Amino acid sequence: MALSSLFATFPLPVPKMPDTSKSSRFLPIRASAAAAAAATASPSFDLRRYWTSLISEVEGELDAAMPIRPPESIHNAMRHAVFPGAGKEGSAKRAPPVLCVAACELLGAPRAAALPTAAALEMLHAASLVHDDLPCFDAAPTRRGRPSTHAAYGTDMAVLAGDALFPLAYTHVIAHTPSPDPVPHAVLLRVLAELARTVGSTGMAAGQFLDLAGATALGEAEVMQVLTKKFGEMAECSAACGAMLGGAGPDEEAALRRYGRTIGVLYELVDDIRSASGNGKMRSNASVLRALGMDRALGIVEELKAQAKTEAERFGDKYGDRVLPLYSFVDYAVERGFELQDAAARP
């Protein structure tokens, strides 16, 4: 199969800027002093507190949505997939829900409009991870510091847990989003279609397929496509759903989509760089860095950071301080100025 032909219609062009970035210019990744400086730049907004409070709200929402009912085995397996283990290693950052709620709140809509969709994003994310960890894929024995779902419950149960988490996400959005007021049914349908498209054959499943086909070994364009499909699309969906639920106009929705997609790739790329330079947890995505080279990877980080800030700036005039979470995410994605782990308490 000619892999290169697969990428023909995928978007996210990475702008060809002069590659002047050098590792030495990329101090923020390793210097926490820069993070402190960034924090003082926006004194009215504390990202760590915002994020931490949202994690506990989302986890509460997930906990209530997933009681242990008969048949208990499948519900236990589903909870295993969605909830992190105890301790630092096992916590989940819940980035998609935070992005979704932030986009909704940016537009001045109530958090309650976005929370059910925020929880659904985590269910869909968990479903794809459960299938991604299966023996026939990555064969990952652990996830978030404890046995992966198939290791704990068996391969058959893991397949079914994923299959059940997908519909649970849609059920949850429909049952708990305040609709038709303030969220009209037509908007709810757009959100449902967006969620389903994102995890489908042209979204995250495409990313998993390309990864499986060895696309990350090929070159920059292929690596960026895999990152975009596997991580950018989920973040784009999170921001887009938040935008729809918050009542965004077409231009605002489009800008938040671009912002989400950019920040999703940025976040993942920085993760890969950190693990390659020994600063983060061990990952299997070293091939991304091998294909790009460290200097080029750092260059792309700078480009994506600039793109995301440009998109966020569009909202500054109209929404004032409510745009600050968007700025803060960009800085956090690059600098990782604080740890969220200890904040992610289990419900």
Partner 1 sequence: MAAFQPLVASRAHLSPLLPAPAAAAVAATSFHRRRFSAIVAAAAAPTVTEFDFKAYMGERAVAVNQALDAAIPAGEPPAALHDAMRYALLAGGKRVRPALCLAACGVAGGREAWAMPPAAALEMVHTMSLVHDDLPCMDDDDLRRGKPTCHVVYGEPIAVLAGDALLSLAFKHMADVSSYPADVDADRHAARVVRAVGELARCIGSEGLVAGQVVDLEMTGSTEAVPLERLEYIHLHKTAALLEASVVIGAIIGGGSDDQIERLRKYARSIGLLFQVVDDILDVTKSSEELGKTAGKDLASDKTTYPKLLGLEKSREFAEKLLSDAKEQLADFDKEKAAPLLYLANYIAYRQN
Residues that bind partner 1 in the complex, under the rule CB under 8 A = 1, 5-10, 69-71, 73-75, 78, 127-128, 131, 134-137, 154-157, 159-160, 162-164, 166-168, 170-171, 174-175, 179-180, 184-186, 188-190, 192-193, 195-197, 199-203, 205-206, 208-210, 212-213
The residue among 27 and 136 lying less far from partner 1, judged by its C-beta, is 136
Report the C-alpha gap between 249 and 318 in whole angstroms.
13
Give the dihedral of Cα atoms 341, 342, 344, 347; nearest 10 deg: 150
In this structure, the number of other CB atoms found within 10 A of the CB of residue 33 comes to 12
What's the distance, Cα to Cα, between the start and end of the chain in Å? Answer: 47
Tokens (6 digits) for 163:
């299959």
The residue among 176 and 296 lying less far from partner 1, judged by its C-beta, is 176
E strand residue ranges, the chain: 142-143, 146-147
Shortest spacing between CB 277 and partner 1, in angstroms: 31
The residue among 44 and 284 lying less far from partner 1, judged by its C-beta, is 284
Shortest spacing between CB 8 and partner 1, in angstroms: 7
5 in helix, strand or coil? helix
Shortest spacing between CB 290 and partner 1, in angstroms: 22
The residue among 202 and 279 lying less far from partner 1, judged by its C-beta, is 202
The residue among 136 and 345 lying less far from partner 1, judged by its C-beta, is 136
Report the C-alpha gap between 51 and 99 in whole angstroms.
10
197, β-bridge pairs:
none
142, β-bridge pairs:
147
Residue among 99, 130, 112, 129 at smallest CA distance from 60: 112
The residue among 172 and 258 lying less far from partner 1, judged by its C-beta, is 172
Question: H or E stretch including 180?
Answer: none
Upper half-sphere CA count for residue 346 (Cβ side, 13 Å): 12
Residues 6+ apart with CB under 8 A from 317: none
Tokens (6 digits) for 71:
């048949």
Shortest spacing between CB 83 and partner 1, in angstroms: 15
Tokens (6 digits) for 249:
């106009």
The residue among 52 and 149 lying less far from partner 1, judged by its C-beta, is 149
In this structure, the number of other CB atoms found within 10 A of the CB of residue 137 comes to 13
Shortest spacing between CB 115 and partner 1, in angstroms: 18
Shortest spacing between CB 258 and partner 1, in angstroms: 20
The residue among 193 and 345 lying less far from partner 1, judged by its C-beta, is 193
The residue among 1 and 278 lying less far from partner 1, judged by its C-beta, is 1
Residues 6+ apart with CB under 8 A from 87: 145
Residue among 66, 203, 65 at smallest CA distance from 128: 203
Shortest spacing between CB 46 and partner 1, in angstroms: 37
